Structure 1
Amino acid sequence: MTENTVSNAVAVRDNGPEAIVRQHRDDLTLVLPTHVKGETWMRLATGALRRDENLRRTAARNPGSLMNALLECARLGHEPGTEAYYLVPFGNEVQGIEGYRGIVERIYRAGAVKAVKAEVVYENDHFEYHPGMDRPEHKPDYFGDRGRIVGAYAYGVFQDGSTSKVVLINRAYIDKVKKESKGSDRASSPWVKWEEGMVLKTVARRLEPWVPTAVEWRNEPAPQPDSAPVLPAGDGPAAIAPAALEDDVDEGPIEAEFVDDEPSAGWPSAAQPGSGARA
């Protein structure tokens, strides 16, 4: 390796997006919840840039979009470049995308919910639900032809065994969200590559208003809602426990809501956060 090559490599390291992230370490780690270690978080942020050359090039062109994505990631208490929060190059900007796991994790952090149930319903599944039922009756044939996706549902099980509001989405709602999502018809779109994961994320978003969520892990369970119905012991399908999240199949990056904010003072003036449909 020549002296010139070494000098160029050092210059790239010292002036690239990783250097910008390090320069704003205090701004980023200041908003981290206490359960996230700042040093670990910073290593994951710079590591994500090193692993993905396309991401790195996009961040170099528009460092402000990278900083806004990382700030939102830190605020939510997620680790960047993981299944909880993706950093995705899209055109000339870096978009931060909270994954399905990230949403479910925030629900568990609040302490009120001990299990989250979210399922996609296919046209050949047996599915029954009406307002008088505590939970849907869903019997999929996992080894048969389930047909196309027709909807999804989600609910939380509180610490006392009661059930949150059951939220449902139908095919028309799924198609509406997909249509409003930027580039959803492209072969590289998560709606094309991981449709089931996108539908799960969409219905998890609909569940958020009906269960507590938090960016910080709580030591004590959150208060239970007074109106929540109590279920008989053993009723209902198996739910997703917190530990099961680590063994879940990675559904790939899935799109989330982006909020147009002004860049923080002192951050690169090119900061222009992306916009997209809330799924």
Structure 2
Amino acid sequence: MSQISNAIATRDNGPEAIVRQHKDDLTLVLPSHVKGETWMRLAYGALRSNAQLLQVATRNPGSLMTALQECARLGHEPASKSFYFVPFGNEIQGIEGYRGVVERIYRAGAVKVVHAEVVYVNDEFVWAPGTIDTHQPPRWEGPQTVPFHKADWFSDRGDVKGAFSYGIFQDGTPSRVVIINRAYIDKVRKESKGSNSPTSPWVKWFDQMVLKTVAHRLEPWVPTSTEWRKEQMRAAHEVAAEQAGPVVIAPQGAEPDYRDDDEGPIEGEFVEDEGGAA
């Protein structure tokens, strides 16, 4: 077979062709703010511009599709600063970046400011909720509602000590403050697949991964666009069910089942799902 024929065969059976075949499935889960055609062109472009990504996707197209589906579900552009495609050995991992987490919080509309900072050993950090703190800036007079963080941005700030995050709602009130220490950061990194690999984000962009980890911990306390879409879909499903037909009544004496498999974690229960996608 000639080189041209080989190239055509590769093109017609390669990862790009597989992505094209599943175009409808991918665009179906995209949120309304994302244009399907534009999103697909970005997906093709990501494969064409990264030889290593294309090589791994050729060997394991299933991992590529999984990463693309997660990217589409979250409403991010493929291979952007919001959502990365990272080759790990013989598979591709889709990793949401810190910017992606913050974007989803802003999209929901309830939060006007997301504040997240890494705290280093040489920084000054004070967090004593409910107490009067003279460190507090004038806009937070009275009981301390958010942490005070002071850093010399132009000096050696030392090693990473931890991180904190909170949101400011549209009415100006702060959300719950989330704080993580170094032990928790190291735990998340340890559980992340391939975290010690030279290509791992934990090696290349450690500070950004710390920010993303603390932003993920903030998610249970502020609305995100994925939660909003989930509630919209649930409401539509309930309306459709009400219009579908008669209600089935449980037999006398049967115990009611109040479980809802679509519900997320109960308030106060943190589900640690950072891992490689922290």
TM-score above 0.5, yes or no = yes
Which residue does 2:127 correspond to in 1? 129
1:34-73 correspondence runs (5 A): 34-73=32-71
Deviant stretches of 4+, over 4 Å: none
1:188: Cα distance to partner? 2.7
1:187: Cα distance to partner? 2.9
Q: Is the 8 A contact 2:129 2:146 kept in 1?
A: no
The answer on 1:146 being equivalent to 2:157 is: yes
Partner amino acid, structure 2, of 1:199: V
1:74: Cα distance to partner? 0.8
SS in structure 2 at match of 1:147: coil
Q: Is the 8 A contact 2:95 2:277 kept in 1?
A: no
1:217: Cα distance to partner? 8.7
1:277: Cα distance to partner? 5.2
Tell me how far apart the structure 2 counterparts of residues 28 and 62 of structure 1 sit (CA, whole Å). Answer: 18
Q: Is the 8 A contact 1:128 1:138 kept in 2?
A: yes
Q: Is the 8 A contact 1:45 1:81 kept in 2?
A: yes
Which residue does 2:133 correspond to in 1? none
* 1:145-167 residue CA offsets vs partner (Å, 9 max, x unmatched): 21111010000000000000010
Which residue does 2:104 correspond to in 1? 106
Cα distance change on mapping 1:161 and 1:216 into 2, 3 Å: same
Tell me how far apart the structure 2 counterparts of residues 47 and 216 of structure 1 sit (CA, whole Å). Answer: 29
Which residue does 1:21 correspond to in 2? 19
Return 5+ residue gaps in structure 1 as ranges: 219-255, 259-275
Partner amino acid, structure 2, of 1:55: L
From the CA coordinates, give the structure whose radius of gyration is larger. Answer: 2
1:103: Cα distance to partner? 0.4
Identity among equivalent pairs (%): 70
Q: Is the 8 A contact 1:109 1:217 kept in 2?
A: no
Q: Is the 8 A contact 1:177 1:278 kept in 2?
A: no
Which residue does 2:195 correspond to in 1? 184
Partner amino acid, structure 1, of 2:208: G
Which residue does 1:32 correspond to in 2? 30
Tell me how far apart the structure 2 counterparts of residues 78 and 278 of structure 1 sit (CA, whole Å). Answer: 14
SS in structure 2 at match of 1:118: strand
Q: Is the 8 A contact 1:66 1:94 kept in 2?
A: yes
1:32: Cα distance to partner? 0.8
1:184: Cα distance to partner? 1.9
Partner amino acid, structure 1, of 2:215: A
Cα distance change on mapping 1:156 and 1:24 into 2, 3 Å: same
Q: Is the 8 A contact 2:118 2:160 kept in 1?
A: yes
Which residue does 2:213 correspond to in 1? 202
Per chain length, whose mean CA-contact separation is higher, i.e. which structure has more relative contact order (CA < 8 Å, sep 6+)? 1
User: What TM-score do the two structures reach when normalised by structure 1?
Assistant: 0.76
SS in structure 1 at match of 2:2: helix
* 1:225-245 residue CA offsets vs partner (Å, 9 max, x unmatched): xxxxxxxxxxxxxxxxxxxxx
User: What TM-score do the two structures reach when normalised by structure 2?
Assistant: 0.76
1:178-257 correspondence runs (5 A): 178-215=189-226, 257=273
Counterpart of 1:84 (choices 82, 87, 95) is 82
Tell me how far apart the structure 2 counterparts of residues 123 and 201 of structure 1 sit (CA, whole Å). Answer: 19
Tell me how far apart the structure 2 counterparts of residues 136 and 81 of structure 1 sit (CA, whole Å). Answer: 34
Tell me how far apart the structure 1 counterparts of residues 197 and 57 of structure 2 sit (CA, whole Å). Answer: 22
Partner amino acid, structure 1, of 2:85: L
Return 5+ residue gaps in structure 2 as ranges: 131-143, 230-271
Tell me how far apart the structure 2 counterparts of residues 118 and 159 of structure 1 sit (CA, whole Å). Answer: 17
SS in structure 1 at match of 2:225: coil
Which residue does 2:118 correspond to in 1? 120
Tell me how far apart the structure 1 counterparts of residues 83 and 156 of structure 2 sit (CA, whole Å). Answer: 33
Q: Is the 8 A contact 1:109 1:216 kept in 2?
A: no
Q: Is the 8 A contact 2:88 2:194 kept in 1?
A: no
1:6: Cα distance to partner? 2.2
Partner amino acid, structure 2, of 1:143: F
Tell me how far apart the structure 1 counterparts of residues 273 and 67 of structure 2 sit (CA, whole Å). Answer: 11
Cα distance change on mapping 1:188 and 1:63 into 2, 3 Å: closer
Tell me how far apart the structure 1 counterparts of residues 18 and 65 of structure 2 sit (CA, whole Å). Answer: 8
Task: Indicate the RMSD between aligned Cα atoms, in angstroms.
Answer: 1.9
